[in-house]
Amino acid sequence: MGAEKKIMVAVGMNRYTEGLLTYATNIADAMGAELICTSIINTRDVDAVATIADMGYEVDGENYVAGVKAERQQEFDKVLKKIGHPPEKIRMIIKVGNPGEEIVKVALKEDVDLIIMGIKSRSDLEYALIGSVAEKVFRRSPIPILSYRDEHVAERLKKQFHLS
C-alpha cells in the first residue's frame, strides 16, 4: 500500500458491517484517503420479488428496491453514528446488480486505489456450494483488495490449522 487516495469498502449491511466500517474508516483516516461505501442489492432478490408479483401478490420490484435502499441507508447512518465517524467523510453508493460484478464496476468507475471487503463465516460446505462475493471480486478485480476478518471469523479460520 502506498499512495491510496480513494478507498472503497463493500458492505452487505449485516452483522459484520460495524466491524468492517470501523476497520475501513481507520485505514482511510490514517492514509488521508476518501472513503466510499458500496452496497449492492442482488438482482436475484429483485427477480424473486417480480416472480412473486407475477403470482398475484401485491409486491413489486421498484418498491422492494426503494425499501431496501432506505433500510440500508438508515442502517449505514446508524453504524456511522455508533462508531463516531463523521458522515461527511464517507460517501454511500447503493446499486442493484450482481454483487461480485457491481463491486468491481463501481470501484473502476470511482477510480479507487483499494477495495476493503469482509468475508462471512460460512462453513466449508456452504462455501464449496455457493462460493462468495469476496472470492468472485478477488478473482476479477484489477484493484488491490484488503480482506477484513472479524474476531469470530478469524477464530473459525484459525481452528482449521493444527499448530505444533
Ordered DSSP codes for 69-121: HHHHHHHHHHHHHHHT--GGGEEEEEEEE-HHHHHHHHHHHTT-SEEEEE---
Asked whether residue 154 is assigned to any structural domain, the reply reads: yes
Phi, psi of 146 (to 5 degrees): -105, 125
Choice between 1 and 133, residue whose per-residue pLDDT is larger: 133
Whether the CB-CB separation of 94 and 41 falls below 8 Å is answered with: yes
* Span 27-41, average pLDDT: 93
The string of pLDDT tens digits covering residues 70-102 is: 999 999 999 989 998 888 889 999 999 999 999
Choice between 54 and 148, residue whose per-residue pLDDT is larger: 148
The string of pLDDT tens digits covering residues 115-144 is: 999 876 555 544 443 458 888 898 899 999
Asked whether residue 12 is assigned to any structural domain, the reply reads: yes
Q: What angle do CA 43, 46, 50 make, to 5 degrees?
A: 135
* Residue 25's CATH number: 3.40.50.620
Which residue matches cell numbers 488521508? 32
pTM of the model: 0.82
Could you tell me the residue range of the domain that residue 98 belongs to? 6-158
- Model confidence at 36, in pLDDT bands (50, 70, 90)? very high
Number of domains in the chain: 1
Asked whether residue 164 is assigned to any structural domain, the reply reads: no
Asked whether residue 102 is assigned to any structural domain, the reply reads: yes
